């Protein structure tokens, strides 16, 4: 219960002062001025109420353009600024910095997007585009007259980050964050670190051993004093906001003590398919992922353990999973949950029906297990001819290819599989020169530095290329009994003008694409979003490439889309840099565009609470006013996104979004509908 609620939402009123607006219309290097007459717009703005200066410049965002604004604030007493330029998302922060340096509150500035909203969409009608620019700038003036000083929201920040995922992205992020002096807790769902990188043998384009790249990072992470690692651990709940997230972690036990590890593993007889080798082999339910894995102690696969007693050194022993739950307070969360290789459907290209049809990840593991034999074999039979098929599970066409369980097709390009396929083709020809390799592709996208080399190398090594169209993919069938090869690949080759070919092979290898991990529970707990490709979505691919829409929740690596290892590591370091920028000072600064309650108008209907989609952003609290108890809405700024749902729901107009008030909107609507004088001719 709170006394005197009026004092809680009190805002210092804007001092009564003459409103002096500076208006700045940018040529944008011709992007705007080639369509809009910027000089006419500037001339029209000079005659508007409260405007004391109206200028143009070739590039207002340049040092020279910003200097014009700074000088006008200092010398002409400008106390509101309106800039008509490119998108606010590109340079809003630039101009806020400009007015701040000149001594003005950064939120006494408004940005009009003349490029995207006008010149780029009306390039064929210069007069109408100029008239629209005048109207848009007029709305900016209308809002500027009602702007008030706003202060950024400052929150204490816990200098501690949670990293979810122990693959190469999570490891890199954790290490980079820790090296900046912040504490890190890294959790990994499986018993071992390394993720998908551990399953590879060599890394293109440098051809180094994958685990030689991975293990030094793991060793550095495990040795760093600022990092705590928990394997077989998951986040089961999360609450709070950037700088102050309360998360709960649940960890399964490894189930085997180090001193009894070897004896217990020897006593274990239960076996399951080995996911590390993509089901090509089996493993015990008490296991190591691979020789030299981290941690070195074995773990129990609780999901598959049947609970039967083991006879260890003559004693019946039943293994128990002793769950441990603990709480953490962290300032930011890095989601580095990785990806899954696409699993072809039963019968897709013969997969699951023809034993000689495998995925590229399976072939990589097979070659690692097969060793450096002189002859390549599969299922005990020699391999003489191999077909490598691109774009399996990628670049699917809606209406042609069968949708997945969620009703969608994978219409995105997985990017990495082209180079991976060519890498494999070159390796097969190098290590097994007697094997003929056929490369069946829709398009080849070797986009990375050094990747094109594999294409040329494959050509030089006599790999045969056959090109199909996405709506007419190859058909893979079992060859008739007694045929020279077990599999036939039928394809219409568009490199030979659509000739229909039938290629007999001993092995078909499907270059499968990337699939997003099933992290629906994590999406729900953290309130983050997926993109149309079902990977986790960043706010903006160029301007905010590793941030989610939830402040303090950052993405790293293939959780947000297909990437190769180099890109994954770079993205992970970018995520670490963002976390460090957020938390290093121990204080987080958020923009002030959040809901604000006018307590004199609020009568506690709760309509705003009902429509709010953000947990703990707005709630009803009980206050004592004049000796009686009343309910009023209260906003927690750190949880509010400023979406405005509450504004539309309030029957009393008691809610506004700071910086975007109802009064400002109404003034802008009035301004855009006003008649404007005929555009005058202005000499250049």
Assess if residue 2 is contained within a domain: no
Q: Kindly state the DSSP code that residue 194 receives in the 8-state scheme.
A: B
Q: Tell me which of 131, 152, 173 is where a domain ends.
A: 152
CA pair distance 138, 127, nearest whole angstrom:
17
Assess if residue 193 is contained within a domain: yes
Assess if residue 668 is contained within a domain: no
Both 466 and 555 in one domain: the answer is no
The average pLDDT across 28-37 equals: 96
Contact in structure between 455 and 429 (CB atoms under 8 Å): no
Strand ranges (DSSP E) for 513-602? 514-516, 553-555, 587-590, 595-597
The model's pLDDT over 258-271, given as tens digits with 9 standing for 90+, comes to 888 889 999 999 99
Both 424 and 484 in one domain: the answer is yes
The model's pLDDT over 428-454, given as tens digits with 9 standing for 90+, comes to 999 999 999 999 999 999 998 889 999
pLDDT at residue number 117: 95
pLDDT at residue number 680: 52
How many domains, in total, are found in the chain?
Answer: 5
The model's pLDDT over 585-607, given as tens digits with 9 standing for 90+, comes to 999 988 999 999 999 999 999 99
Both 30 and 99 in one domain: the answer is yes
Helices (H), 47-125: 63-76, 88-101, 114
Please say if the pLDDT value at position 367 is more than 50: yes
Contact in structure between 527 and 614 (CB atoms under 8 Å): yes
The average pLDDT across 9-26 equals: 73
Range of the domain at 631: 594-657
Both 40 and 25 in one domain: the answer is yes
The model's pLDDT over 233-247, given as tens digits with 9 standing for 90+, comes to 999 999 999 999 999
pLDDT at residue number 6: 39
Assess if residue 670 is contained within a domain: no
The average pLDDT across 647-670 equals: 95
Long-range contacts: 284-289, Cβ < 8 Å, 24+? 286/255, 286/256, 286/319, 288/192, 289/190, 289/191, 289/192, 289/194, 289/198
Q: Tell me which of 558, 587, 616 is where a domain ends.
A: 587
Q: Tell me which of 534, 556, 587 is where a domain ends.
A: 587
CA-closest candidate to residue 22, choices 62, 50, 61, 44: 50
Please say if the pLDDT value at position 558 is more than 90: yes
329: CB partners within 8 A, 6+ apart: 158, 160, 240, 244, 245, 246, 247
CA pair distance 436, 387, nearest whole angstrom:
9
The CATH number covering residue 106 comes to 3.40.50
Both 131 and 169 in one domain: the answer is no
The CATH number covering residue 629 comes to 3.30.70.20
Both 137 and 178 in one domain: the answer is no
pLDDT at residue number 207: 84
Compute how many other C-beta atoms are within 10 angstroms of the C-beta atom of residue 401. 17
Tokens standing for residue 68: 């014009």
Confidence of residue 366 (pLDDT cuts 50, 70, 90): very high
The average pLDDT across 301-314 equals: 92
Both 499 and 535 in one domain: the answer is no
pLDDT at residue number 678: 64
Please say if the pLDDT value at position 1 is more than 60: no
Burial 213-233 (b: 16+ CB within 10 A, else e): bbbebbebbeebebbebbbbb
Compute how many other C-beta atoms are within 10 angstroms of the C-beta atom of residue 584. 15
Assess if residue 16 is contained within a domain: no
SS (H, E, C) 626-639: CCEEEEEEEECHHH
Tokens standing for residue 105: 């509150």
The model's pLDDT over 374-415, given as tens digits with 9 standing for 90+, comes to 789 998 899 999 999 999 999 999 999 999 988 999 999 999
pLDDT at residue number 613: 86
Both 510 and 535 in one domain: the answer is no
Both 67 and 124 in one domain: the answer is yes
Compute how many other C-beta atoms are within 10 angstroms of the C-beta atom of residue 323. 11
Both 523 and 556 in one domain: the answer is yes
Q: Kindly state the DSSP code that residue 198 receives in the 8-state scheme.
A: G
CA pair distance 638, 590, nearest whole angstrom:
8
Please say if the pLDDT value at position 684 is more than 50: no
Please say if the pLDDT value at position 519 is more than 50: yes
pLDDT at residue number 406: 87
pLDDT at residue number 387: 98
Tokens standing for residue 71: 């000088």
Please say if the pLDDT value at position 205 is more than 90: no
CA-closest candidate to residue 114, choices 34, 191, 175, 18: 34
Assess if residue 81 is contained within a domain: yes
The CATH number covering residue 445 comes to 3.50.50.60
Considering the chain, what is the average pLDDT of its residues?
Answer: 93
Q: Find the Cα–Cα–Cα–Cα dihedral 638, 642, 648, 650, rounded to 10°.
A: 30
Please say if the pLDDT value at position 5 is more than 70: no
Assess if residue 6 is contained within a domain: no
The model's pLDDT over 316-326, given as tens digits with 9 standing for 90+, comes to 999 999 999 99
Assess if residue 672 is contained within a domain: no
Both 504 and 360 in one domain: the answer is yes
Please say if the pLDDT value at position 681 is more than 60: no
CA pair distance 640, 649, nearest whole angstrom:
16
Both 359 and 467 in one domain: the answer is yes
């Amino acid at each position: 219960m709170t006394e005197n609620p009026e004092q809680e939402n009190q805002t210092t009123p804007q001092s009564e002062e003459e409103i002096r607006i500076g208006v700045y219309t940018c040529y944008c290097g011709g992007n705007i001025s080639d369509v809009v007459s910027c000089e006419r717009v500037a001339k029209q703005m000079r005659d508007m109420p409260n405007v004391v200066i109206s200028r143009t410049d070739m590039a207002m965002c340049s040092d020279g353009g910003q200097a014009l604004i700074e000088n006008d604030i200092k010398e002409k007493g400008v106390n509101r600024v309106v800039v008509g330029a490119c998108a606010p998302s590109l340079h809003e922060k630039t101009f806020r910095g400009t007015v701040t340096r000149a001594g003005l509150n950064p939120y006494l500035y408004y940005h009009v997007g003349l490029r995207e909203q006008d010149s780029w969409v009306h390039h064929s009608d210069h007069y109408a585009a100029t008239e629209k620019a005048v109207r848009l700038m007029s709305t900016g003036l209308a809002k500027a007259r009602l702007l008030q000083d706003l202060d950024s929201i400052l929150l204490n920040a816990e200098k501690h980050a949670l990293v979810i995922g122990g693959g190469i992205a999570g490891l890199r992020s954790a290490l980079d964050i820790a090296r900046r002096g912040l504490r890190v807790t890294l959790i990994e769902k499986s018993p071992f670190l390394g993720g998908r990188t551990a399953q590879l043998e060599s890394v293109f384009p440098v051809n180094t051993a994958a685990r030689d790249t991975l293990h030094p990072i793991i060793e550095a992470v495990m040795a760093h004093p600022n990092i705590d690692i928990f394997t077989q651990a998951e986040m089961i709940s999360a609450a709070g906001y950037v700088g102050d997230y309360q998360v709960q972690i649940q960890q399964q036990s490894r189930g085997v003590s180090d001193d009894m590890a070897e004896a217990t593993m020897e006593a274990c007889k239960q076996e399951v398919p080995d996911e590390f080798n993509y089901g090509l082999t089996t493993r015990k339910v008490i296991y190591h992922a691979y020789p030299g894995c981290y941690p070195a102690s074995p773990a129990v696969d609780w999901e598959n353990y049947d609970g039967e007693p083991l006879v260890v050194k003559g004693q019946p022993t039943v293994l128990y999973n002793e769950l441990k739950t603990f709480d953490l307070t962290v300032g930011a969360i890095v989601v580095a949950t990785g990806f899954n290789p696409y699993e072809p459907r039963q019968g897709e290209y013969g997969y699951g029906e023809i034993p000689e049809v495998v995925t590229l990840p399976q072939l990589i593991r097979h070659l690692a297990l097969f060793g450096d034999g002189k002859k390549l074999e599969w299922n005990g039979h020699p391999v003489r001819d191999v077909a490598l098929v691109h774009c399996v599970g990628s670049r699917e066409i809606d209406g042609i290819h069968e949708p997945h369980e969620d009703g969608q097709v994978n219409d995105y390009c997985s990017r990495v599989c082209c180079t991976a396929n060519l890498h494999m083709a070159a390796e097969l020809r190098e290590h097994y020169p007697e094997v003929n390799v056929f490369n069946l592709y829709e398009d080849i996208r070797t986009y990375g530095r050094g990747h094109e080399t594999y294409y040329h190398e494959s050509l030089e090594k006599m790999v045969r290329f056959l090109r199909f169209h996405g709506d007419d993919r190859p058909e893979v069938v079992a060859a008739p009994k007694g045929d020279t090869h077990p599999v036939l690949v039928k394809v219409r080759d568009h490199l030979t003008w659509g000739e229909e070919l039938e290629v007999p092979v001993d092995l078909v290898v499907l270059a499968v694409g990337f699939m997003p991990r099933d992290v629906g529970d994590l999406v729900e707990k953290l309130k983050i979003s997926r993109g149309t490709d079902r990977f986790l979505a960043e706010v903006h691919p160029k301007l905010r490439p590793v941030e989610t829409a939830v402040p303090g929740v950052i993405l790293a690596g293939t959780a947000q889309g297909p990437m190769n290892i180099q890109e994954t590591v770079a993205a992970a370091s970018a995520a670490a840099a963002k976390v460090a920028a957020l938390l290093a000072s121990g204080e987080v600064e958020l923009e002030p565009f959040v809901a604000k309650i006018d307590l004199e108008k609020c009568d506690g209907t709760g309509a705003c609470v009902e429509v709010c989609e953000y947990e703990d952003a707005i709630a009803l609290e009980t206050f004592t006013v004049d000796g009686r108890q009343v309910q009023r809405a209260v906003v927690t700024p750190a949880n509010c996104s400023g979406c405005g749902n509450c504004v539309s729901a309030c029957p009393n107009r008691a809610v506004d979004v700071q910086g975007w008030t109802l009064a400002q909107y109404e003034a802008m609507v009035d301004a855009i509908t006003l008649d404007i004088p005929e555009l005058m001719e202005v000499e250049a």
